[in-house]
Amino acid sequence: MSLRQDQIGWLLATATITLIPHFGHLPPLLAGIAAVLVGWRALIATGGRRLPHRHALSALAVGIIIAVLAEYRHFFGKDPGVALLAGLLGLKLLETRQIRDGRSVVLLSLFLQLAQFLYQQDMAVAALTLLGALGAVASLLALQSRGNASPRSRALEAGRLLVQALPLMLVLFILFPRVQGPLWGLPADAFNRVGGLSDTMAPGDLARLGESSAIAFRVDFQGEPPPSAERYWRGPVLTRFDGHTWRAGLLQLADQPSYQPQGAAYAYAITLEPHNQLWLLALDFPAVSAGTRISNDFQLLAREPVQGRRRIELVSYPHTPVGRDESGLVLRQALDLPPRSNPRSVELGRLLRARASSPADIPDLAIEHFRRSGLRYTLDPLPLGRDDVDSFLFDTRQGFCEHFSAAFVVVMRAAGVPARVVTGYQGGEINPVDGTLVVRQSDAHAWAEVWLAGRGWVRVDPTAASAPQRIENGLAAALPDSARLPLLVRADLAWLHGLRDRLDALNNRWNQWVLGYNPARQRALLSGLGFGDPDWQSIAALLAGGCAIVMGALTLWALRQRSPADAIDRSWQRFCRQLASAGLPRNSWEGPLDYARRLAHERPDLADTIAAIAADYASLRYGPGEADPDRLKRFHQSTRHFRPR
């Protein structure tokens, strides 16, 4: 059976809703191919043109395959697989002639809707997927119906079906045994697009992060959070320097820290966005919690890459002295400089060492020199020369935090003070809606650590010497060129901040209670409901029982519902009983029109009335299309007032 216009319209709408979210990560060529194919099918539907020949479709299929290979060089993985499905969806629309073809389009759409969650799992993606599912269900209803219906009534019918599925969905969500991690292995490229810090640093790296308003992590403090000046979230520690790029040194991992925590403590839970690295971005200096390790440079590390959103409860002690008994190898690495690199900065370090009465005075002298030099903090520094640090300190005199920290560490090493760069995040903004501290990629920061005899490793932030507002009030307050910042970070849009805070709070609840519903939370919920400490067998039994109860309730509800066809049959049965009481019963094998023809011979006086009622019933009950309202009203009135004698 050929498709009607309304059926094609629903299929096109479903395919469009499904493809739009994928255009953000598909290469422009493949996104354009999918859009052109869908648009082509829409033109055919509206203009009455013929569908392309199968040879043309075969050529298009080969072209899509070649385009995918040209972009990705292979077919295996998330990105090429999704791109191929997107192209095939548009291609399937161009060969859709019959109902079975339409069902294939719906099935492809559902696969692509599921694939959206391989990229993001936030509320916006869930809402788009729900809208796509509504379109898919409406398309299936249109494909199985015999008549046209308005888009509004079709959408309402699909919405009712989705609402009826909600109880079963909730039972499955709450009671399905939770498995930590995916149920199947994701392809190797599943995490190649995550952003954030790197384990290397070169001029401009953190400035690029400063232009992103994406959330890096959220923090819930138990009690008052630390002041802004102490909100240093430690990430990769970079020791090796080749004159341009900083890299991490060799790490030694332990289950317990080498320091003894002391001083003020901050207890908090941090929810990290996936970044596909091992670091966990804690305040200095944390006590190790379950599932974590700590390195010899005091980074808190996970045992496996953070490939999904992760919540960790920690306690940090920022005033703990660390590294007082540091090994000689670590200190020698923290003094190493490449030969013949940045000679002016090296000479500055030697001059500071000569002026200082002790090594402990050198960092203060360097900070004072930075302050007097008029260094400017900016997201858009001028290009640097061959010697990056010399060019920054003596020529351009403008840079971002990576310029300040790298220059400070080079000067310290030249002065004989062991030093290294620490990258991470600094600050964060309290969301007034839910009280969480939100740290964004634009809060990425780099600072320095110097080693002083008797004190160990001490944090020094040279950026604060030239841009103290960066530490106290965040990036937007410190930059004069705030127009370069993302809209959600700029300080001059209070109304947008309010909207952002509400959406962030809503997203945080979604992350904690939907995406964060893990085995531990499931057991805690069931224990709170009186099921003790259930194992997986008990949870499976509860799941089976819950599904049985929901399905039984839905079945009873469905049996009590009456459709318009039930009312038509009731009126017909009443009509037949009236005739039977007059001695004119209907045989069980007789259809309505045969019954009317027989009675026309037996009761000619009733022939016209009976024939009209029988014809209306046959058309309403068995005819194509939706019931005609005028005929339906006439049929009910005729049977109600029929009184044979």
Question: Among all residues, which ones are annotated catalytic?
Answer: 401, 445, 461
Distance CA 94, CA 54 (A): 10
Specify whether the CB–CB gap between 203 and 403 falls below 8 A. yes
Please give the backbone phi and psi of residue 36, each rounded to the nearest 5 degrees, phi first. Answer: -65, -40
| Residue 347: strand, helix, or coil | helix
Instruction: Classify residue 608 by burial, with Cβ atoms within 10 Å: 0-12, 13-18, 19+.
Output: exposed
Q: In angstroms, rounded to a whole number, what is the distance separating the alpha carbons of residues 107 and 109?
A: 5
Q: Which residues contact 457 (CB under 8 A, 6 or more apart)?
A: 298, 322, 323, 326, 449, 450, 451
**Secondary structure in 3-state letters for 370-402:** HHHCCCEECCCCCCCCCCHHHHHHHHHCEECHH
State how beta strands 419-426 and 232-241 pair.
antiparallel
Distances (CA, A) of 528 to 139, 167, 630: 42, 21, 58
User: For residues 594 and 157, what is the distance between their CA atoms, to the nearest angstrom?
Assistant: 36
Cα separation, 208 vs 448, in Å, equals: 20
| Letter string b/e over residues 378-398, b meaning 16 or more CB atoms within 10 A of that residue's CB | bbebeebeebbbbbbbbebbb
318, 284 in Cβ contact below 8 A?
Answer: yes
Which DSSP letter does residue 186 get? P
Please give the structure tokens belonging to residue 277: 């690295």
What's the gap between Cα 492 and its chain centre? 28
Tokens 């019933």 sit on residue:
617
Residue 55 corresponds to which tokens in the numbers above? 């040879």
Q: Which two tokens stand for residue 76?
A: 């295996």
Task: Of 237, 208, 246, give the one whose Cα is nearest residue 407.
Answer: 246
User: What are the C-alpha distances in Å from 277 to residues 235, 288, 434, 620?
Assistant: 10, 18, 28, 65
Note the Cα 211 to chain centre separation in Å. 20
Any idea what DSSP says for residue 52?
Answer: P
Angle, in degrees to the nearest 10, between helices 519-526 and 536-560: 70
With H, G, I as helix, E, B as strand and everything else as coil, classify residue 318.
coil
Reduced to 3 states (helix: H, G, I; strand: E, B; else coil), residue 292 is: strand
Here the tokens at position 345 are: 């900065």
